[in-house]
Amino acid sequence: MIPDPTPDERDTVAALYLRTVRLVHGPADSDEERLEAGYAALVRENDAARELLAKVGRALAAAGPPAIAIKGTAHVLELYDGPLPRRLSDLDLVVRQADLSAAAEALRSLGYEPEPWNSPEDVLLQAQEGPGLRFLRDGSFPVDLQTRLPGVPSGEATMSEVWEHARPEGLGRRTCPTGPTGRTPPTIPNGSDRPLAASGILLLHPMHEMLLAAAHFCVHLQPPLVVSPKWITDMLLMVVRNTMGEPPRLAPPVEGATFAEKLARLTPTELMWPFEGSVVAGSADLSDRSDRSDRSDRSDRSDKGGRLWRWNEFWATAERWGILREAALICASLNAHFGAGIPDVPRGFEPLAMDRLVGRAADHALYGAAVLPAAYLERIGRVRALNGIRAKLRYLCGLVFPSADSLRHRYGLAPDQSVVLRRLAHPLSTAWKLLRGAGALAWLRLRRPGD
């Protein structure tokens, strides 16, 4: 029997189901039944996310400010409107800084409340300096309100460009694959096809989506964060959408006498790309690798082919946004491992090894501990953005002695449960983490004296 999947492994449950269990001759065994149940749960989860996003959009429209859906929130609306669902952990929305309060009130009207932080000043800095504010509601997806693109040095010029090219999109209906034997897991029909623009939600320009995905992935390469296989699938689908103009077809299920035999025939790349053929067939034919005299002809062919962006524009934007390194690293990796055929990747960027695309680096826990002191110092340094000595003192005190609501949320305590012991223990726990982090950093420096 296969064990319960870890969070990272849950990202590939849908692909594993579609490549193994969708076509089952005879009764399914227990492992196949569990995969089928996991796939059905993901389909229902995606439908619930779409319905919730429509409600959030209507609340935002009533309050006035628009929002841009980003990352997985946008992908379930456009990239995953076929048989492959995508696991979601939250809904990510970008709003203008001036609209943050109005957007927060719109979420409150739906029963959401801000995640408790250490102090009111801490909440203010999370909103102004990043990463944004998280809103919680029992039994529902968390909603993250952000004012910048995560992982992108989002200055005023960048965000102006993002908002200028943001676009409306509609909510598509979910479809569920049916194999030759009629094995179709249950699904919740999504009856909402109201345009998102009418409900206060926009989407990034497709090229900006790809740039954000590359930058976000590279941020998570750094411990203590981790990468996710679903992000690779996201980017591959974006490249295909740009090149082909239509979604890829699922690869046929693998054959095997037993479930274990089927698993043995699948590779990790097939779980991140469970579709027929190569990722981008013939993409080099429409590349922008040409001299100036030939560029206009290639541009015309690209436009006639329905391209959403051209790669020379992609690289120019990556450089302008300050994420050329991140975009080059990811695109080189997609070319190396999936044959993506992305043209004009800058030289000097070696592709990431496959185990780094799907897993953690060696000594991940050690590196994760080592970054904590610097992260804590960065949070202390944010005090400079506050006005007034009282606000600064309250902020610094809150880092050591968080609010009661923050302690209850952080440690999973009941609303009426005392936090006296946690309030006393928290500074000691923080001090221990900082000491352990300093020790980990010193150990890494000793192991790599040249760094």
Mean pLDDT calculated for residue range 7-16: 75
Band (255; pLDDT cuts 50, 70, 90): confident
Rounded mean pLDDT, 152-163? 91
pLDDT of residue 389: 92
Give the number of other CB atoms < 10 A from CB of residue 17. 27
3 state DSSP class of 202 = strand
d(CA 70, CA 84): 19
Task: Report CA 166 to chain centroid distance, whole Å.
Answer: 18
Distance from C-alpha of 77 to C-alpha of 281, rounded to nearest angstrom: 24
Q: For residue 139, what pLDDT is reported?
A: 92
pLDDT score of 47 more than 90: yes
pLDDT tens track for 302-336: 343 468 899 999 999 999 999 999 999 999 999 99
- Residue 18: count of CB within 10 angstroms of its CB: 24
Topology of domain 1-204, CATH: Beta Polymerase; domain 2 (3.30.460)
Structure tokens at 4: 């319960």
Task: Pick 258 or 102 by higher pLDDT.
Answer: 102
The CA-based angle 324-313-129, given to 5 degrees, is: 50
Of the pLDDT bands very low, low, confident and very high (cuts 50, 70, 90), residue 442 is confident
Please check whether residue 330 is in contact with residue 214, taking contact to mean a CB–CB distance below 8 angstroms. yes
Kind plus residue range of the DSSP H or E element containing 368: helix 364-370
Whether the CB-CB separation of 72 and 92 falls below 8 Å is answered with: yes
Which of the four pLDDT bands, split at 50, 70 and 90, describes residue 258?
confident
Asked if pLDDT for residue 407 goes beyond 80, the answer is yes
Residue 233 has pLDDT above 90, yes or no: yes
Kindly report the CA angle at 395 between 393 and 397, in degrees rounded to 5? 65
In the structure encoding, which two tokens stand for residue 26, read together?
A: 């005879």
Judge whether 13 and 39 are in contact, CB under 8 Å: yes
- CA angle 113–372–121, rounded 5-degree value: 35
pLDDT value at 81 more than 90? no
Q: Over the stretch 275-307, which tens digit does the pLDDT of each residue have?
A: 987 765 344 433 443 333 333 333 333 343 468
Hey, where are the domains in the chain? 1-204, 205-251+299-360, 364-447
pTM (predicted TM-score): 0.81
